[in-house]
Every structure is written in C-alpha cells, then in structure tokens.
Chains A and B, each alone.
Chain A
Amino acid sequence: MYQGHRKFDFHSCTACGLCVPVCMQGALAITGTDIGDSDLFDLLMRDADYYRNSGGGVTFSGGEPLLQAEFVRVAAGRLHSEGIAVALDTAFNLEWTVIAPVLPEIDLVLLDIKSMDRETHYDCTGVYPDLIWENIGRLRTMDKQVLVRMPLIAGINDSDREIADAIAFLSGWDSLLGVELLAYHDMGLEKATSYHGAIGEQEAFLAPDKNAMETIAQRFRANAIAVIGY
C-alpha cells in the first residue's frame, strides 16, 4: 500500500504469476505465454482455412521475433510445408548469422527505416544503424519480397535530405514491394505507462501534416518506389 493505493514494485516482480489466478477482477495478468513450436503450429493451423481462402498468412512480430530465431525458423518451416505464407516483422539489428538461416522460410520481410541519418537514428532509437544497413545490403542481393515502413515525425526525420537518402538507399531494389509511410502517433505511450508505471515527461512530437505526407509520397513514386499506404 502506498498513500492509500495498492502499488506494485515491478522491479521486485519475478513474474511467478501467483497473483494472477487470485485476482478477482482479472486486473493482473502476465502478458505473453510460453508456447512450444509444435503447440504454436497447432494453434495457427486452426485458422488455416482463413489464410488459404484469403491469400493471407502468419506474421511473426514482436518485440523482436529473431531473438528466438531458431524457434521462428522451425515454426515458419512447418507453416511453409502446409502452404501457409509467412511474414517476418523485424528491426534487423542482429548479426547476419542469426538472420540468414531463418530467411529461407520467410515469404515477406517487413523492415523499418527510422532515419537515414546515423546520429538521428542513435538519438531516436538508442542504436546506430550500421548493422541494420549492412543486413539490408545483404538482403538486397537475395530475391526476397520486402516491405519497408517509415515512421515519420515532423522536424525529426522528414527532411528533404532524409527522404532523398531513403530514396537513394531503396532505389533499384527489384523485390521491394514498396514503402509504407506511417505518420507518427503517441498511442504507444499509454501502453508503456501500463507496463512500467509513469514514464516521466515526454517530448511532444508531431506528425507531418497531410500535405507534407502527400509530397513525400509523390517523391517516392517519382523515383519508381511504390507507396503502399500513408
């Protein structure tokens, strides 16, 4: 109890889960469950008819699914053998030796470009993009379908220079389906608060306005890069 309220010290929580079954209101829950590749496969196959009829499939997303790369490889392989299409949504910030074995089982890779400026990338994400770009370079040599997504924040990564660099970086990539331009939103802040408690003052960011988004989309199209959505 803290100032008349129940308060959890999440730093001391060992995720033993004992609080969950006795919480009458279901307010406490462990997000995520442990599951083996075989059980996951069975679970996914329950929807196989929906995937097949719609031309859809399964996306491994996260977090970073490649932190369990072997698991993804096995599960994706089994789905593949059933004719189910598999997509991988990854930050790509891993050693190529981790990524490479999984790729044969993947039909579509979903990648993000957060910024084409090394320092901005570091400021916004906490890592330099060198490894990501290197991996993208390798991926380009393979005939693998790719969709690139770009979250755009006004004044941060929507400059002419950023866009020009992104266009240069992506041009001439035959198996690139296109880019999806995502206007920034701060809905994730609420999610972060629910997991970590108050997260302190946040800098206020803005999405580029509608006209700016349209202009950016036009620039990609003018350079023969399809814009899937924005």
Chain B
Amino acid sequence: MIPKHVQKSIEKWFDKSDEATFYERIVLQEEAVEKYADEPYAVRFAHILEHILANMTVIVDEGERIVGSVLEIIPTAEQREYAESLSLKWWGPLVSEEERQQQVNFYFSPGWVKRRNPVFFSLGHLAYDWETIVTKGLGWYANRVADLLASGEFDDDPEKMQFLQGAQIAYDAHSAFIARYARYAAEAARMAGNLQERNRLETISEVCSHIATGSARGLRDALQLMWMVVLVSQKTAGCGVFNFSRMDQYLLPLFAKDIEAGTLTEQDALELIVEFYNKNNEIMFPTDHMSQENDSVIKNLEVSYDDPNYLVVAGKLANGTSGVNRLSFLLVQAAKLLRLKNPFIVVRWHDGIDSAFWQETVDAMRMNATVVIYNDETMIPALKEFGIEEQDVYSYGFYGCNDPNIPALEGGLRQLWMNLVWPYELALNGGRPFGDPSRSVDLNFSLRDRIQIGLMSGPYAGKKFDAEEPCLSMEAFIARYRQQMSFLLDQYRRVMEQDYEKESQWNKGRIRIEDLFLKGTIESATTWLIGGTKYHKVTLQGSGLATAVDSLAAIDIAVFKEKRYTFDELRQAIKANFVGYDEMRTYLLKLPKFGNDLDSVDEYAKIVVDAFCDAVVDMNRKREGLYTYMPAISTDRDFTTMGEALAASADGRLAGAPISENQSPYIGSDKSGMTALLNSVTRVPFNRITGGPLNLRLHPLTVEGPEGLAKLASLLEVYLRKGGMQAQMNVVGKAELIEAQKNPEKYKNLCVRVVGYAAYFVQMGKKAQDELIQRTEL
C-alpha cells in the first residue's frame, strides 16, 4: 500500500547520518546578508530569501510525484567551523540578553535560536491560510500586494511600504523557485530513458509550472503547492511546526472534483497523501529536539530539524453538522499506513461522530500511528471563554506541543509556563519560597524568565503575608492559594506588557516569512507580532496539576479532616524536607492520590484549575496591549526541571523531585485501573482549558483484535463524553516491558493481560514477566 519510492525514502531516512545538513542554505544566506546589507529590513529579508531560492539545488527523486527536497551533505571540518562561528556571532556570550530580545523578541531558548540569523528569522508554530493558498494561488498573493503598493494607501509610511515591497519580492521568489522545478523536470523528461519516466517527469513539470502562480486544480496540485510553501518556510527560514489546519475541509472540494471527473481514484488520493506525509518526515533529521543533551542536537546545523507538523481531521462545522467526510478517512488511513512521527494528526471528536470513522481513528492510535484525539465539546466553550469569536472558533487546531491555534488569524509561538505548585508553596509559607531566600525573585521577573521559560523554575516570591498567621480552615488555605496564583500571573503580565511595548517599536518595518500567508498582515502591512493579525495570544501552560491537587488534598485531609497534624507541624516538616518526619511522610504518601477516582482528592482538580483559569480571566480583564492569555494543562518534558526549585510538598514528594507530567497522575500513584484514572481526569473543568496532553500507555494485548478495538473505541468515547479533553497513547511492546523490568518504579501502572486475567506487570515475578516478554514477541 505504501508506494515503493516512499518506502525507499523512509528506509533512507532511518539510515541518515545525524551530521547531514542542508549546508548550501547557510552559504547562500550569508552571501545575501552581506550583499543586501544596506537595504531596509523587510526588503533585505526578501532578497535573502530570493537569493537562496534562486540558487539552491533542485532535486527530483526517484519515483516521486510530489517534489521538493533540499540537498543534504556531511559538512567538512571547515564548513562546520564556519557555521559555528556564525552562531557564536549571533548568539554567543558577548551578545547581551537585551540585544537578543531586541532582535527576536519573545522566546529564545538558546538551543532554538542558535542556527538562526536574526535578520532572517522565524520560529514558526502557526497555521498559514492554507485554504487561500490552494484556492487562489501564489499569483493572487503577488497581485494583491502589487495593488496595495499602487493604491497609495501606505505612501506616507515608508516602513509599511518596505514591508509590502519585501512581500512582493518574496512571493515572486516562491513562484520562481517552483518554476525552477518545472524547468528541471521538463529537462529531465527529455533525457528520460522510458515512456513511463518521461510521463512522470512531464506531469511534475506541468503541475509545477501551473502552481508557480496558479491555484490548485485538484488534490495533487494542492498538495504540491502546500509542500513547496512548507519547504521554503521550514527549511530556509526556520518557520517550522505548522498547523495544516482542517485539511479534510479545505481540500474536500478539490478531492471531490477529481473523483467526480474520474481523474483520481481514492487509492490514488491515499497514495498522494502518503507521499505528502512522508515529505514532512523526509526533511527532518534523525534526532529528538527535546533531548537537548544529545550530541546530534548539539551538532545540528539546521534551522528546523525535528518539527512536528500538525493537521486537523473531523470536528464540528459552524452549522452544527459533522465535518467527517471521505477525505477524513483517507487522512487517518495514511497515518496508519506510515506510522511515522511526523505529521501529527489531531482528530476532533464531537458528540454523534460517525462511528466507522471513530473506529478508524482508534485503530490508528492502537497501532501507534501519530494520531491524537481532542474534544470539540470542551475545546469550543474553552476557546470562547478566552476570547475566540463564534465565527472563528470552529476552525481551531493545534501546533506543537499541543498549543491551541486559530489558523491564519494569529502568529507564532508564545508560551508562559506556570508551575501550579508554586502558588501552593507560597500559600504555605507567607508568600515566600521555602528555599534559600537570597535566591528568591521578587516582583520583576528576569528577562530570561520573561522571554524564555515563564514561571517555570523559580524561586519566585509571591504576595507577602505573615507565615505564622494560623490557617484555620481549608477554605482559608484555598483563598491563599488563589491569591498567590493571581499575584504571580498578574506580576508576570505587568512586566510582559512592558516588553510588548518595546517590541512594537522594534518591529516596525520588519517582516517574517509567515506574514506572507496569514490573514491581516499584508492588508495592514504589519507583521503579526505587533498587530497584523486578528488574535494575539500567549498560551499559559499550567504544569504539575496532579502534584498541586495531591498536595492541597493532603493538607485538607491531614490538617482539617483527620486533624492528624497541625498546619504548623506540616509547614515545619516541609521546611525540613521531612528530615526527622519519616512517620508524617509515610502517612502523607499513603493519602488518597489523584488518578484513582476518589472524590476526597479529585475535587481539588476543579479547585486548582478554577484558581488558574480565574487568574487568567483576571489577567485578560486587566490587560493592556495586544496579547491575551489562554490556559492549557501541560508540562511538555519539563516536569523534572520544574520540580528542581520547589521545596518538599504535602503529597510526600521530596524537595527538588519532579512534579507530575502533563495531565497524568503523579508517577506511580494511579493504581486503580484505566477507568478510575480517566474518571479522575474528567474532574478537571476542561471546558475552560484550551490544550495539553494526557498520555496513556496500554499493552498491545489489552487492545488486540476486533474486540480490543471496540473496547478501546468505547473507552475513549466515554472519556470524552464525560468531559475529557485529549488523549494520546502508547501501546507498548517488548522493549518497554524489558525497560519496565529494569525500572519497575516507573511502570507501576502498566497493566497487562496474562491469559484469562489481567495483572500489573511489575507485580508479577521475574519468570512470569520473562514469559510475557517472550510471548509479546510473537
């Protein structure tokens, strides 16, 4: 089912050296940076793009129908040294944080920015206006900007005129690049040894020649055009992590037209989609960008090398009906066939979704395809609460990592990490962290905190109060928690708004590649960053949900309900990191924990999340300037980092230990099975939360066969119907079972079916485990 040339390309990818790089980009870029040094920012930006696109190698690989690749080489020592010297010049220790901020504004984690020249910069994480791209074509964009330039509307604003001139050059550069592919393929067709190969190349040439300026006539044109736009943005300018948005909606008319005309079968369509998906994978590099310690990450010279591109399937339409159609099926089937990490398929569930489609989706998840599910029934109300208008809300999707996105109407990644455990620690200790007071950060967050990591690592001071003042009821403690939450977030908002103010000055006349394909930027001749688009948001990632929930519940039970310890005793024990308090810690560890469907602890999921969301509502009410805030529940992979600055907590966790991961219970504390876990998680008021993952891990035996599929499909549907928001799963095999054997403490909740019964893997003896491992291999 996977076309041979795609299979070959996949195999090639897994053998690719982690040193390979698209080196000519670096050379061409720097040639142009110098050549156009005297030009205004936006025009220079466009000329750099034009220079790269006019000179980079054109590649048409064996067998492929969708073309567009970059030339990868293993750089020599001198070439590597040159590339490293550039990184050092742009982002080295001699460049102050203030200078960096002025160059690229928000969010510059060193690993991310290091290969990006600040004058040719993008961090991606957004959705283009794909529908307009495919239905109107690049020529339409070029004509529109020409009309604007000629209209006189911006004549008295030289920076805006430069912005538009830059855009015009950039559109033409795209068209010229695609035309190079058309010419190359035509030339290759003339040299082709056989008729079949000649036909293939001639068709490629014809398609590229048409889409260089024209709109898509069918599915193949659309995918080819989208791919060229992605290739240019992602591989030359570093605008990675796209949301392809609702592909089954905007491509449907073209697909239906092809099918009706008989120019395409569903099988052809599936193969084209497979090829398109694989292109997304092909341009990535064999490494994990979140493992910043990996040699392959450190050495990598690419601007965008491991960026998941998201796409959205199914979901409700604005008229209340379901978006599921034939193309939805094909988009999921293609993911199931390939089972690659890229692209990342988001299926939007809604009440009444077609059951055959739901089975198809869950089957793909069961087979470890990169398919995740989101719930329209919670997401739509949540997005509305945080300012998305009815007319736009149904288009919602996501970009990595699980951040909500309104396609084309907003720009790129802005995040604030909010450790939900912080306000609890501050509420316990007079608004001060328990750690070294000299390290505590008062009121003004450092530039590094503001721009890079948000309230992730602390130790931040909160609103000060007398720590000795007795706390007489749980209600009083919750009030303190809420007060500290609001205080921290509002302080953060205050300092961030000063940054936005500066940005609006620095970015006049600047352009980023994504401005070419958003809604509003060209019309207003303004980059998205400072107002070109309709929406501007910062996603607030609430982190450590289960740790916060468990800790609040522990105080409630230990101090107020069971009166086992006084508030002050608990505070002293936490201050001492439980040294000398073994008995108390044992007691606290055994208290009910989130993830077991127990009301006494799960009720805090709502209390914690409401405190968070209410504080965000408050931020939006007080905000000045462009940016609004949207709450999500996520930790990404930073739950370890975020635990480091925290003291011990009332759930029995020791100082510096990790906090809970994403929306999961604290590691090893959910011991009551899958339905209990899901029931606990549904206690989170997700109709106020706009994104974030719940990772589930299942053993393949529990979901095997048609019966397993039916059970899993039903389980996930009930979870969503009960108010769950998202789920993604790993169905684990042998390797992970062996790992579980070595580190059982990390796999306490791994449930396996032995024969006619189920067991927790780590509770089984070694011999039984070995037998199961053998069996799984079959």
Contacts and interface: CB of A to CB of B under 8 A. Distances in A.
Interface of A: 21-24, 26, 46-47, 49-50, 53-56, 149, 180, 182-183, 185-187, 189-191, 193-194
B590 A21 contact: yes
Interface in B10-52: none
In the A-B complex, the 9 residue pairs with the closest CB atoms: A190-B765, A54-B714, A187-B768, A47-B675, A53-B718, A53-B714, A49-B718, A190-B768, A50-B718
27 contacts: A21-B586, A21-B587, A23-B586, A24-B582, A26-B589, A46-B597, A47-B675, A49-B722, A50-B675, A50-B714, A53-B717, A53-B721, A54-B710, A54-B711, A54-B714, A54-B715, A56-B711, A182-B756, A183-B755, A185-B754, A186-B767, A187-B754, A187-B764, A187-B771, A190-B766, A190-B767, A193-B765
Contact of B586 (A24, A55, A183, A187): A24
Contact of B679 (A47, A55, A186, A193): A47
Given A50-B718, A53-B717, A185-B771, A22 B711 contact: no
B193 to A, nearest CB: 51
B466 interface: no
A49 B721 contact: yes
A163 to B, nearest CB: 19
B586 A46 contact: no
Given A46-B597, A190-B768, A149 B756 contact: yes
A227 to B, nearest CB: 14
Contacts of B147: none
A180 B707 CA distance: 15
B436 interface: no
A185 B755 CA distance: 9
A50 B677 CA distance: 13
Nearest to B587: A21
Interface centre among A55, A185, A189, A194 (most CB of B within 10 A): A185
Contacts of B587: 21
Interface in B682-713: 710-711
Contacts of B755: 182-183, 185, 187
B583 interface: yes
A187 B768 CA distance: 5
A46 B596 CA distance: 11
A125 B707 CA distance: 32
Contacts of A53: 714, 717-718, 721
Nearest to B590: A21
Contact of B590 (A26, A49, A50, A190): A26
A191 B710 CA distance: 31
Nearest to B712: A54
Interface string B580-606: 001101110110000001000000000
Contacts of A149: 756
Interface string B722-759: 10000000000000000000000000000000111000
Contacts, number: 65
A180 B718 contact: no
Nearest to B717: A53
Interface string B111-149: 000000000000000000000000000000000000000
A186 B754 CA distance: 11
A189 to B, nearest CB: 8
Nearest to B675: A47
B675 A22 contact: no
Given A46-B679, A49-B722, A53-B714, A180 B756 contact: yes
Nearest to A47: B675
A22 B771 contact: no
Contacts of A21: 586-587, 590
A190 B764 contact: yes
Contacts of A191: 764-765
A108 to B, nearest CB: 14
Given A24-B586, A187-B771, 16 more contacts: A21-B590, A23-B586, A47-B675, A47-B676, A47-B679, A49-B721, A53-B717, A54-B710, A55-B714, A56-B711, A186-B767, A187-B765, A190-B765, A190-B767, A191-B764, A193-B765
B464 to A, nearest CB: 36
B744 to A, nearest CB: 12
A50 B583 contact: no
A183 B717 CA distance: 34
A101 to B, nearest CB: 27
Nearest to A184: B755
Nearest to A21: B590
A193 to B, nearest CB: 7
A186 B711 CA distance: 28
Contacts of A24: 582, 585-586
A47 B715 CA distance: 10
B160 to A, nearest CB: 56
Nearest to B678: A50
Interface in B518-547: none
Interface in B546-594: 582-583, 585-587, 589-590
A46 B764 CA distance: 28
A79 to B, nearest CB: 15
A222 to B, nearest CB: 24
A186 B771 CA distance: 9
A50 B765 contact: no
Contacts of A54: 710-711, 714-715, 718
Interface centre among B718, B754, B767 (most CB of A within 10 A): B718
A194 B765 contact: yes
Contacts of B721: 49, 53
Interface centre among A26, A49, A55 (most CB of B within 10 A): A49
Contacts of A49: 718, 721-722
Contacts of B586: 21-24
A202 to B, nearest CB: 12
A146 B325 CA distance: 42
A6 B650 CA distance: 31
Contacts of B768: 187, 190
Interface string B191-231: 00000000000000000000000000000000000000000
B752 to A, nearest CB: 11
B764 A22 contact: no
Interface centre among A47, A55, A194 (most CB of B within 10 A): A47
Contacts of A55: 714
Nearest to B767: A190
A187 B756 CA distance: 12
A21 B562 CA distance: 15
Nearest to B710: A54
A22 B585 CA distance: 10
A149 B582 CA distance: 49
B750 to A, nearest CB: 16
Contacts of A193: 765
Contacts of A187: 754-755, 764-765, 767-768, 771-772
B727 to A, nearest CB: 14
B672 to A, nearest CB: 10
Nearest to B679: A46
Contacts of A56: 711, 714
